[in-house]
């Protein structure tokens, strides 16, 4: 090895070491900034404070949720059971088969109409897929609203149950009172529990079956706590008050999370709406300019790519708005 090659090797090693050092420094700086921002977010969420009553209730909810996974586990559900659970969560009044056939029938009809009007197979498939996606987004919106209503009703129901138990009513009587005082969807669940109890089913089995059918974290927590309390004994009224405080603390934390992610959600809606609005505006203002997307194969592929990119962007923005704590 001549001196010139040795000098080149040493220079390459020195450059590599310099680049690696700069990369390591940047990595440590990024990691430090990430930890600082993480602590800041945790402080704003109120989950790194001293052990207060609110943090105790949140800790109780997390520990009880882990226990609920062992006591009441939904297991591996079949397709029919998943659809029934989705129907219950979304509040569909029609049978599951009717809803599914209606959606797919509408999608097939849209495909046929688009193809007959000269849109082609790709545009017809895109229209059918857009109908299915729109229905799924509407369903998710209904589920979100129904879950928020369910949480508020469950807090009120736990308060009613605690007061009824302290007044001397049995647990079944307090559940009957909840089914009479609380509207749908929670009132129907407690009415079902009371009805099964009158038919001779054990209280614990009835509550567990309802928690498996209507899979909701708060309802699962309630069913687990009541099942354990009925087996081991204790003050049910105090248990209802503790569960109500846990759910209230979770609702306050969820409101803080929605405030922190509001900008991301608004940006997602704007970025998704912009290409769609511009596409239809250009189609109205200058139809000849947009004919390329309908009459050429390249334009149809571009339409499919546009829809795919918009959907993937919406998925990424949704993932960015998720805070794990």
Q: Which residue has the tokens 């052990």?
A: 51
Q: Which residue has the tokens 């800041």?
A: 40
Looking at residue 251, its pLDDT comes to 79
User: Could you tell me if 135 and 10 lie in one domain?
Assistant: no
Structure tokens at 255: 């409101």
Query: Cα 148 vs. chain centroid, distance in angstroms?
Result: 12
pLDDT of 207-251, one tens digit each?
Answer: 877 777 776 777 777 888 888 877 777 778 888 888 888 888 877
User: Could you tell me if 75 and 155 lie in one domain?
Assistant: yes
Quick check: 317 and 271 in contact, CB under 8 A?
yes
Q: Which residue has the tokens 């029934």?
A: 84
CA distance 211 to 216: 7
The torsion defined by the Cα of 315, 42, 46 and 154, in degrees rounded to 10, comes to 30
Domain assignment present for residue 186? The answer is yes
User: Could you tell me if 130 and 209 lie in one domain?
Assistant: yes
What average pLDDT score do residues 3-23 get? 76
User: Could you tell me if 3 and 88 lie in one domain?
Assistant: no
User: Could you tell me if 221 and 87 lie in one domain?
Assistant: yes
> How many separate domains does the chain show?
3
Best CA proximity match to 14, nearest among 2, 3, 22: 22
Structure tokens at 294: 């309908």
Looking at residue 55, its pLDDT comes to 53
User: Could you tell me if 199 and 314 lie in one domain?
Assistant: no
Domain containing 92: what range? 51-249
User: Could you tell me if 66 and 41 lie in one domain?
Assistant: no
User: Could you tell me if 239 and 280 lie in one domain?
Assistant: no
Provide the mean pLDDT of the chain.
Answer: 77
User: Could you tell me if 56 and 106 lie in one domain?
Assistant: yes
**Cα dihedral sign, 241-242-243-248:** positive
Domain assignment present for residue 256? The answer is no
């Amino acid at each position: 090895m001549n001196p010139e090659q040795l000098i080149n090797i040493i220079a390459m090693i020195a450059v590599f070491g310099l680049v690696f050092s700069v990369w390591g420094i940047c990595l440590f700086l990024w990691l430090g900034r990430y930890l600082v921002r993480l602590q800041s977010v945790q402080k704003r969420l109120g989950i790194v404070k001293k052990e207060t009553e609110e943090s105790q209730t949140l800790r109780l909810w997390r520990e009880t949720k882990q226990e609920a996974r062992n006591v009441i586990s939904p297991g591996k559900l079949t397709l029919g059971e998943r659809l029934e659970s989705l129907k219950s969560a979304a509040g569909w009044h029609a049978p599951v088969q009717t809803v599914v056939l209606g959606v797919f029938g509408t999608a097939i009809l849209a495909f046929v109409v688009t193809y007959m009007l000269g849109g082609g197979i790709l545009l017809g498939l895109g229209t059918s897929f857009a109908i299915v996606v729109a229905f799924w987004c509407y369903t998710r919106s209904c589920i979100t609203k129904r879950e928020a209503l369910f949480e508020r009703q469950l807090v009120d129901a736990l308060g009613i149950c605690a007061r009824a138990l302290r007044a001397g009513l049995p647990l079944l009587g307090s559940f009957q009172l909840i089914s009479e005082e609380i509207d749908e969807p929670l009132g129907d669940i407690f009415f079902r529990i009371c009805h099964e109890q009158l038919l001779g089913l054990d209280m614990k089995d009835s509550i567990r079956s309802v928690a498996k059918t209507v899979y909701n974290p708060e309802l699962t927590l309630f069913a687990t706590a009541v099942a354990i309390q009925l087996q081991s004994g204790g003050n049910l009224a105090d248990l209802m008050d503790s569960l109500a405080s846990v759910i209230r603390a979770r609702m306050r934390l969820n409101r803080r999370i929605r405030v922190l992610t509001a900008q991301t959600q608004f940006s997602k809606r704007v970025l998704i709406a912009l290409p769609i609005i511009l596409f239809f505006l250009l189609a109205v203002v200058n139809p000849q300019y947009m004919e390329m997307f309908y009459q050429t194969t390249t334009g149809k592929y571009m339409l499919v790519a546009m829809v795919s990119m918009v959907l993937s962007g919406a998925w990424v923005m949704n993932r960015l708005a998720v805070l794990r704590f």
